[in-house]
Amino acid sequence: MDLLGNEKRPLAERIRPAKLEDFVGQAHVISRLTNMLAAPRLPSLLLFGPPGCGKSTLALILARAKGRPYVRVSAPEAGLAALRELIKGKEILILDELHRFSKAQQDFFLPILETGEIVLLATTTENPSFSVTRQLLSRLHVLRLGPLTHPQLMVLAERGAREAGMALAKESLETIAMLSSGDGRTLLNLVEYTAALSEDKRAPDELRKHLPEALARGDRDGDSHYELASAMIKSIRGSDPDAALYYLACMLESGEDPRFCCRRLMISASEDIGLADPMALPLAVSAAEAVERIGMPEGFIPLAQTVVYLALAPKSNSTYAAYLTAKKEIMQSGVKPVPLHLRNPSTKLQKEWGFGKGYMYPHAYPDAWVEQDYLPEELVGRQFYMPKEQGQEPRLAARLARLRKRHG
């Protein structure tokens, strides 16, 4: 309290629930946690989920419910030497942001978890399959949490408004919930900000004008980074320009590196469109160059153009599939010798061995085409590339069919 009796703790801290029954959301793990609390000893846990979903709150509820001495530490703030001192005399360690410890630092926990010296309640926003060592994962129960739903955010917003001593119209609460993007902490910060506004500015038609801009979370190394990129590519593949644009905007507005977006678009142009529209790849490459030259924020303009073009373009993955088929052949049967007539006779001895003998130079024949075998002898007649009847590809494939028929 300050001298006037006002509560100085952040709103999110003031309404942090003390019991599982009061926790909002994550119903899929609450029953499991209830059973764990009923057991004689709490198991070591890794709570994995996006920011503001309640990971640390759940860890605190569990530690306090057990009534054992505990300490809470944030990985970025604690080196191992300090951590050794902090856990002396403690039975439970709450460790936020476990992924910020290096793989070598994570090995510190292996012996103390093995002997049961301490119970670890760790949290992470990053996929533990990639950010936590296999040895440590094997000693932890992993619980995955999700972002809060809109109804759950509304419950939190109402609680926060009551704690802040203000009455907000449902439309104002809806606005705050929508701007929070599933993050309970962001929501309560916005509620607290709203409480500091004059009453006329809290009205539904005024509130959005006065709230700070709620930027989408940047998660360049976590799951959402790849989930948004995957959603954009799948939307392009599915010829949905609206969805593709939406996911592009989600990435760019969350601070995603536009060069990452460019790389994904170049891959999609070849993998999903390919020969159905051979101009797709040059356009994607040009967009990458344009973004490099003009930078952000204007870089969204060529990116948006490219995303829409790729979504509208005819689709063919024939060249992508053809390569994978050829790769599979090599994995199964190994690399076959190149036919002698295709080998360049760089030396007199190689010429005596027959290198280049019998090779027919296509440009010396009508239509720059002559019938001869190019595949290794064991694979002659094998077809890896299967053209599709999409966009420009039938025209390209038809040329080869005409040549083979005309000269066959």
Question: How many whole angstroms separate alpha carbon 113 and alpha carbon 139?
Answer: 7
Question: How many whole angstroms separate alpha carbon 8 and alpha carbon 310?
Answer: 53
Domain 26-144, CATH: 3.40.50.300
Q: Is 408 exposed, middle or buried (0-12, 13-18, 19+ CB in 10 A)?
A: exposed
Domain 334-407 has CATH 1.10.3710: yes
Determine if the pTM surpasses 0.85: no
Question: How many whole angstroms separate alpha carbon 244 and alpha carbon 237?
Answer: 9
Question: How many whole angstroms separate alpha carbon 253 and alpha carbon 250?
Answer: 5
Question: How many whole angstroms separate alpha carbon 195 and alpha carbon 230?
Answer: 39
Q: How many CB atoms lie within 10 A of CB 84?
A: 12
Domain 223-312 has CATH 1.10.3720.10: no
Query: Could you read off the pLDDT tens digit of each residue along the chain, which spans 408 residues?
Result: 443 344 678 888 888 988 888 888 888 888 889 988 888 888 999 999 888 888 999 999 998 988 888 888 887 777 777 888 888 888 888 988 888 888 888 888 888 888 888 889 999 888 888 788 888 988 899 999 988 888 999 999 999 988 888 888 888 888 888 888 788 888 898 888 888 888 878 887 778 777 776 544 444 445 566 788 899 999 999 999 999 999 999 888 877 888 889 999 999 999 999 999 999 999 999 999 999 888 888 899 999 999 999 999 999 999 999 999 999 988 888 888 888 888 888 888 888 888 888 898 888 888 888 888 888 888 888 888 888 888 888 888 888 788 777 765
Question: How many whole angstroms separate alpha carbon 351 and alpha carbon 138?
Answer: 61
Query: Cα–Cα–Cα angle for 76, 77, 83, nearest 5°?
Result: 105
